[in-house]
Amino acid sequence: MTRTILHIAQSSEAGVARVVTDLAAGQCTQGDRVVVACPTAGTLARTAARRGAQVVRWDAVRSPGPALPREVAGVRRIVDGVRPDVVHLHSAKAGLAGRLAIRGRLPTVYQPHAWSFDGAPAALRTAAVRWERAGARWAHQVVCVSEGERAHGAAAGIRCRYAVVRNGVDLDWCGPPEASAREAARHRLDVRVPGPLAVCVARLCRQKGQDVLLDAWAEVEARIPQARLVLVGAGPDRSLLAARASPAVGFAGAVVDPRDWYLAADLVVLASRWEAGMALAPLEAMACSRPVVVTDVPGAREFLPPRHLPFAVVPLGHPGAFAAAVARLLADPATGRALGEEAQAHIRRHHDVRRVVERMYSVYDDARRVWSGPVGAADQ
C-alpha cells in the first residue's frame, strides 16, 4: 500500500538534515509519496529533493517567538495541501508548531533530536519541560534514538508512547575505505599536516562543546606539538571560537558532504554538552573506519563496541580528561587503526540506515493504530 509521509523540520543543516534525507530516500525507494516541509535555506531542501522527495517551503526560525502563530498556520496549510497518512515532526520547533497545528487529528510522530529543555536558557527550562509534558498528548509515537534519550525524557516527566530507533548510516555513502583513503582525502581537501589530525564535525554552538574542545586542545598540543585540529561546521560561535583558537586549529566551515573529513582524520572528536541521544557524526566516522572520542552524554555508550569505552568516552565538562583521551589515541596510531576497523564492523552490523527505515515503518503503523480519528472539542 502506497502511503503519503510528511516530514516537517526547521533544522535544515548537519545531522537532522542527514537523518531526514536518509529516511525520505529510503521511503521513496519503497514507492511511497514523501514530502519534506522545511526552510529553503540550508542543505535539507536540496538533498531531500535530490533523493526523490517532494519539497515544500515552510518558513520557520529556530527559536520560539512572535513568528510562532505564522509558523503554526503554515503547518496547517501544508497538511491541508499534502493530506498525509502520517506526519513525522523533527526537532523542537517542528515539534512545537506541528503539534499545535495538528493536535492529534492525524497520526503524528515526534522525534526530538535532543530534548528542547536541554538547550533552553535556565529561565525557560521549566517552561520547556512543561510544554513537552503537555505536547506529548498530541504525539502518537515519540521516537528517541537511544535508551538514554528515552530515559532522560521519562525522568523529566514526559509521559508518552516511546519508541527507540537508533540512528543509522548510509553504508553505500561511507563505503569501505581503501588503505590509501586518508592520503587521498587529504589531497582532495588540500590538507597538509605534519603530524596526526583530529577532526570535529558539528555545528559551532554551545551544545557541541567546541569551547571545551579548545581548552583540551591546548594540553594535546603540549603533549603532541605536531598534532592539528580542524573544526568542520558553521554556527553562531564561529567568531568566539576563532578568537581563542591556536594556530594549530583550522576552521573548514560548513560542508554538504563530510565524508572526506572523516577519511582525512586520524581521530574524530565531539565534546558535546548534550546530544540527541546518539550523535550522527561519530556513527559516520566509525562507518569510515575512524576511532572516536566523545563525551559521556545520554546514549553515547550505546553506539560504541564495548572495547572502545575506556578509550572513547570521557566525562562531561572535563577538558583535562578529554585531552588525555585524545592524546592517547593520537600518540598510538596502531591502536587507533584497530579501534577504527572494529568500529566499522560494528556500524555495519548494527547501524545500517536501511534498518532504520524498516523500523520507522513499524513506528508509523503503531501511530496509526493508536490514532483514533479526529479529537473532541476539548482538544480543539
| Predicted pLDDT of residue 278 | 66
Signed CA dihedral, 365, 370, 374, 378: sign only: negative
C-alpha distance from residue 30 to each of 53, 93, 138, 140 (Å): 12, 28, 27, 23
Q: CB under 8 Å to 276, separation ≥6 — which residues?
A: 15, 112, 113, 114, 145, 149
| Predicted pLDDT of residue 306 | 82
Amino acid (1-letter code) at residue 237: D
Question: For the chain, what's the residue count?
Answer: 380
Domains of the chain and any CATH numbers:
4-168+353-379 (3.40.50.2000), 171-350 (3.40.50.2000)
| Predicted pLDDT of residue 379 | 41
| Predicted pLDDT of residue 56 | 95
DSSP state of 169: B
| Predicted pLDDT of residue 217 | 95
Greatest pairwise CA separation for the chain in angstroms: 68
Query: Cell numbers of 57, please?
Result: 517551503
Contact between 41 and 61 under an 8 Å Cβ cutoff? The reply is: no
Q: CB under 8 Å to 301, separation ≥6 — which residues?
A: 148, 309, 313
Q: Model-level pTM?
A: 0.81
Counting Cα atoms < 13 Å in the Cβ hemisphere of 156 gives: 23
DSSP state of 352: B
Contact between 177 and 255 under an 8 Å Cβ cutoff? The reply is: no
Query: Cell numbers of 151, please?
Result: 530515559
Contact between 313 and 294 under an 8 Å Cβ cutoff? The reply is: yes
Mean pLDDT by runs of 10 across the 380 residues of the chain is: 92 82 93 95 88 93 86 96 96 94 95 84 86 94 90 92 90 71 90 93 91 95 95 94 94 89 95 78 91 87 84 89 95 93 90 92 94 49
